Structure 1
Amino acid sequence: MAEHVFHLTAHWPGGRNDSGKIETKNLQTAVSIPPEMDGPGIGTNPDEMLLGAAATCYIITLAAMMERSKIEKLDLSMESEGIVDVTNGVITYQKIIHRPVVTIKQNPSKDISTMIQRLAIKAENSCMISRALKGNVEVEVILTIKKQ
C-alpha cells in the first residue's frame, strides 16, 4: 500500500470572530467564519474550502476519464455551489452541485454525448473527495455539452 501524507499548519490567535491563517505546501491563506454565518469574512472559510476540494477533485477526475476514453474536448469548465443549512443553530453542509460544461467539436456522434454523460456520473463516484463525503453530503452533477 502506498500512503500519501499531506500537511497543513493552522494558526488561530483570537476568538470566534477573529481570523487565522492556514498554510500547506502550495496554499497560504487567511481564514475566518463567513459573513453568512455572522463572521468577519476575512479570507476563505471551511465551507468554500470543502467546495473547492470537491470541485477540483471532480473536474480533474472527469478530465482524466475523458482523456483515457479518447474523447477530444475543446474545453471543460465548471461552476459548483455548496448548500449549507442552518436550522436551530445547527449547521449542516447539505449538498454540492457541480455544473460541468464540456465543449466538443460540432456534430459529435450520439455515442460520444452518451459516453460523456456516463463519465460525468462516474467521475463523481470515483473522485476521492466525493467518496469521502458519501453518506454525509449529497453531490449532484448537472452536465451541459456544448458543440462548437
Structure 2
Amino acid sequence: MKVLYTAEATVHGGREGEARSSDGNLTVKLSPPTEIDGSGEGTNPEQLFAVGYAACFQSALLRVAQREQVDASQSTITSRVGIGPNGQGGFGLEVELRVSLTGVEAATGEKLLELAHQVCPYSNATRSNIPVKLTLEEQRL
C-alpha cells in the first residue's frame, strides 16, 4: 500500500485524559461515558471512532454514487459504536451504520451501501474483526 496521508495524535491519561492531533486541529478532553462508570464530561474513543467511520463511509458512498450516476448529496450517516465485554476477559466493539438516502430507491440504496462498504477504509479495517451492520433507513422519494 502506498500511504497518502498519516494522521498522528498523542494521548495523555488514557480514557480520562486528553488527546491532541500533531497538527493542532483536534484537542479533546477524554472521559469514559457514565454507562461504564465514567463522568461523561468529555468525549470517548467510541464517539471518535463513530465520527471517523461515519465521515469515511459517507465519502465512500458519495464516490460510488457518483460512479453509478446517482445523486447521494442529501445522504446522512448515523454511526453507532457499541462497546462491551467480549467474553474472553477483554472488550469488543460493534458498529451500526444507519444510512439515509433521500430520493434514492431502496434497491439502488442497498447496492450503494454494499459498494461503499467495499471502498471505505474503515470498513476494510473492521471486516472480519468486528460486526458491522449496514441499515438503509426508510426512503422518502
Counterpart amino acid of 1:29?
V
**Residue deviations 1:52-110 (CA, integer Å, cap 9, x gap):** 222211111111211222212461112221222236763221x2111111112xxx7xx
Matched position secondary structure for 2:60? helix
Partner of 2:130: 137
Contact 2:46 2:82 in 1 (8 A): no
- Which string of whole-angstrom CA distances, capped at 9 and with x for unpartnered residues, describes residues 18-72 of structure 1? 8311112332111122211112222111111222222211111111211222212
After TM superposition, give the deviation of residue 113 of structure 1 in Å: 4.5
Q: Give, in whole Å, the separation in 1 of the partners of 2:72 and 2:7.
A: 32
1:84 corresponding residue in structure 2: 83
Cα 1:124/1:37, change in 2 over 3 Å: same
1:23 aligns with 2:17: no
Cα RMSD for the two superposed structures: 2.3
Instruction: Give ranges in structure 1 of 5+ residues lacking alignment.
Output: none
Q: 5+ unaligned residues in a row in structure 2: which ranges?
A: none
Equivalent pairs, count: 136
1:2 positional shift: 3.1
Alignment check: 8 A CA contact 1:19 1:42 kept: no
d(CA) in 2 for partners of 1:75, 1:37: 35
| Corresponding letter in the other structure for 1:22 | A
1:11 aligned residue: 12
Structure-1 separation of matches of 2:48 and 2:72:
28
| Aligned structure 1 segments of 4 or more residues deviating by more than 6 angstroms | none
TM-score normalised per structure 1: 0.78
Pick the structure with more strand per residue.
Answer: 1
Corresponding residue number in structure 2 for 1:39: 38
